[in-house]
Every structure is written in structure tokens, then in C-alpha cells.
Amino acid sequence: MAMDAASIKCETSECRRKLDIDRCRREIEEVERLLTSGHPDVAGLCLALSDWSAELRMILAKERREWLWVAR
């Protein structure tokens, strides 16, 4: 997938993280839409859903760890 203008202009790690979170959520929504619309590749879509969900959890966990570190 091509990078959009917002991701090219993003200079801070916070901005990058927000873009990554937004991308994960968009990808999850698209996979869910395909699954509920009767797409024939259920196994592939389930794998994609698992991968994007894991990516989102990792980003959010890192964000929480960084927040806890700063809050000390």
C-alpha cells in the first residue's frame, strides 16, 4: 500500500504511532467487512484479522508502557 500524504509529513513518534493505530483500525474494519459480506477466503481473512489485531495490541501496549514510564 502506498504511503499517504499525512504519513510523509509525520515527523514525531506520537504522530507516527497515531497513524499506525489508525491504519490498523482501518485494516481491521475492512477485514471484518469482507468477512461479513461473504468473501470466500475466510481462512486468509481470519489470519489477516489476527495479524492486524496483534499489531494494534502491540502498538497500544508500547504506548501504555511509555505513558507509565513518563507518569513515574
More confidently predicted of 29 and 14? 29
CB 16 within 8 A of CB 3: no
Q: What are the sequence ranges of the domains in the chain?
A: 16-71
pLDDT band at residue 1, thresholds of 50, 70 and 90? very low
Provide CB contacts within 8 A for 50, sequence distance 6+. Answer: none
Does pTM surpass 0.85? no
pLDDT number for residue 3: 56
